[in-house]
Every structure is written in C-alpha cells, then in structure tokens.
Amino acid sequence: MIYSLSVFAGGQPGNVQPFSDEDSSIETLSHCSSLSERTSAAEEAGETEEMAQEDFQYKLKVYIDSTVDKSAKTRQGALDGLKTAMATKILYEFISERRMTITDSIERCLKKGKGVEQCAAASLACLLCIQLGSGIESEEVFKTLKPVFKTILNDGAANIQARQACATSLGLCTLVAEDDIMDVYATMECFESLFTHSYVREDGSRPSVNPQTTQLHTNALLSWALLLTICTGYRSNDDVNMRIAAGETIALLFELIRDVDPEFDYDDWEQLCEQLNALATDCNKHRAKTDKRKQRSVFRDVLKAVEEGDFQSETIRFATERMVIDSWVKKRTYDAFREFVGSGMNYHLQANEFIRDVFELGPPMLIDSAALKAMKSSRLERHLYNAAAFKARTKARNKFRDKRVDVGEF
C-alpha cells in the first residue's frame, strides 16, 4: 500500500491517508484514456482532411470531364469551376498530370465555343500556365494555344469579348511560357497592329472607334507593355482606360530606358511634359468626375516618373509577409497576375513558387498555427478599434451638427 502525507499549517505532518494500488491504477487508466482520445481525435481529423482532399479532386475530375459536354451551359460551369479552383489553391501535382487533357479542352472551347465560353477558356489558359510555372510543361501548353489565341485576336469577325480576352491571355501566357525572345517580339508586333488603330492621325483627327473595340485596343496595349518588361533591347485617346494604359506605358518605357542609360535625354521633352501635365490637370466638363479623378491621379504619378524618375510605392501584405511595389515594371507585372487570380492573389504570393520567384520573394514560408492565430487576433483587435473610433467620430459629428442647427434657428 502507498501512503501520502497531508501537511497542515505550520509545516507539521497530519494524519496519514492511505492511497491504494487500485486508486493508482484508476488514475493511470484515466491518463491513458485521455491520451487515447487525443490521438483518436488527431487521426479522425487527418482522415477527415484526406477525405475532403479526395472529394475535392473528384470534383475537379468531374469539371475536366464536363468541359467536353454537349451542353454549353455545362461546359461553362466546368470552366468556371476549374478557374475558381486554380485561382484559390496550389494544384501543381494534380494539374501537371492532366495538363494536356485540360489544354485540349481549352483549345476546343476556344475554337467551338461562343463569347462567354471563349472568355472563360482564355482565362483558364492563363491560370493553367500560372499553376505550372515557367518551364517545359507550360511551354507545351502555350505552343498548342498560341496559334488559337492569335487567330481569334486577328479575326475581325470573331466575338469582340473573345478577342478582348485573348489579347489579355496571350500577353500573360507569353510572359510565363514563351521560350524564344524573337517570338515575344512577334507577339508584341501583333498587339501593336491592333492598338495603333486608336492613334490620333497626323492631321489631328481621331479615328472613329466604338467602345468595345477601344477596350480591345486597351487590352492589347497593356499586354504589349507587360511584354516590354522582359525586353531589354527596346497620342491621347478619348477613352479614359486607354489614356491611363498609354500613360502607364510611357512611365514604364522611361523607367526601362533609364535602367539601361541613366543619362537618357528625350528630344521632345517639353512637349511630352506639357501633354502629361494637361492630362494630370484635365478639367473637361464632358468627362465623368470619377474618370477625371482617376486620370489625374495616374498622370500625376506618370509626370513624376518622366520628370524625376519617381514612383509612388505601394505595400502588399499577405500572411506574415509584405511586398513593396516600387517600380512601374513591378506594378504592371502584379496587375497582370492579379487580373486573373483576383482575390486569390495574396494566397499565390504566399504559396506559388513561380509567382514568388517572379517577385523575388524566395521559397514559400511555413507558418505555424500559433502564428496564424496571433495574426488573426491582431486583425480582430484592429477591426474592433477602428469600429470604436468610427462610432466616436460619428457621435462627435452629430453633436456638432445639432449645435450648428440650434445656432441657426436662434
């Protein structure tokens, strides 16, 4: 029999209480039972996660099979499902094994589908290349799809939304997967043959272009500017997006040229700065206020870039990391990826090795659950603080307004 001493006040030993072997066994069994329950819970969680992963992959397989369905609605739903999955998760191993099957489906939807389906297929092609990263696998995909993109892009009778989507997708896929710089130049010439139709003519007149065609030219110009960021060798439209795209491209050009030649001097410097300043202070009453505000903001930055080589940096936060957009090259690249990945951009910055490599972020960082929990807590605290501050400001303003009304009445 085992005995334990009960110590009373003053440190003197009291009555000896018997502690039996049976009690010891019960306590041991209790500990073992608790440990067994925790182990069982962990195993069940692992099994649940594995089942969820299997279920998710099964859904992806169904989506892939459904991209060749006879129903256009079913094909559209399948393309959208694959787009969402690729934008929000890293699926390299699963996709790598099925890349040519998915590529064939994209090609078929681009060739035989109509408008919306073609747009979805073009976006999926970009996400597929982003998932595969730069290498032989994405090159194989792009070699199949590039001729289809260019055919649709140059076909004046093709659906205009499909042409717009192909202009954007061709640019990003070329950035990720093109293996020959001469082919990059050829693709840039293809884009240039489109957006130059929006140029102001020598006699000062403007071309008659409808808004949808202007959007096509804008997409082509943005893709041309994106490809310009990987080329080391190399007037104002009425549409606000076209003007902004042109302005940002000018800033990008000056940044790239100054990287090569810091003493670069532009011949028509004063005229260019006057035009940029006019756009930065545009007061045209026929334009919407939001368009003017957006244009002024962008062209103020463009003017600083041209005159001073300056850039208004922006910090992107994701998980415990942050990335600073500190150049026009980086901004154009970031905007191009974000257009397709959307709200999943921060996740890709955190986990996608290819995108991290593009932005020189290094290998993906592993975040333990404790750090993640602490990060979520700090976000909640900030949210509560901001909510309280907003409430206090509102009450203060209301009191001030009440006093102002009283004085007026008096």
CB burial readout 232-243, b (16+ within 10 A) else e = eeeebbebbbbb
Q: What is the pLDDT of residues 151-197, one digit of tens each?
A: 999 999 999 999 999 999 999 999 999 988 899 999 999 999 999 88
Instruction: Kindly give, in sequence order, each residue whose CB lies less than 8 Å from that of residue 332, ignoring residues fewer than 6 positions away.
Output: 222, 225, 226, 229, 248, 252
* Domain encompassing residue 126: 56-231
CATH of the domain at 195: 1.25.10.10
Answer yes or no: pTM beyond 0.85: no
The continuous run of DSSP H or E covering 47 comes out as: helix 21-66
- 132 φ, ψ to 5°? -80, -25
Percent of the chain that is helix, strand, coil (3-state, to 5): 75, 5, 20
Count of residues in the chain: 410
Question: Is 110 inside any structural domain?
Answer: yes
- Does some domain include residue 177? yes
Is 125 or 378 the better-scoring residue by pLDDT? 125
Domain membership of residue 326 (yes or no) is: no
Helix segments in 90-114, DSSP class H: 92-97, 99-112
Q: Is residue 214 part of a domain?
A: yes
What H or E segment, with its residue span, contains residue 263?
none
pLDDT tens-place string over residues 94-110: 999 999 999 999 999 99
Q: Does any domain span residue 347?
A: no
Residue 181: Cβ within 10 Å count: 12
Is the pLDDT reported for residue 124 higher than 50? yes
Question: SS3 of 157, please?
Answer: coil
| Amino acid 10: pLDDT | 41
Residue 83 located in a structural domain: yes
Is the residue at 275 inside a domain? no
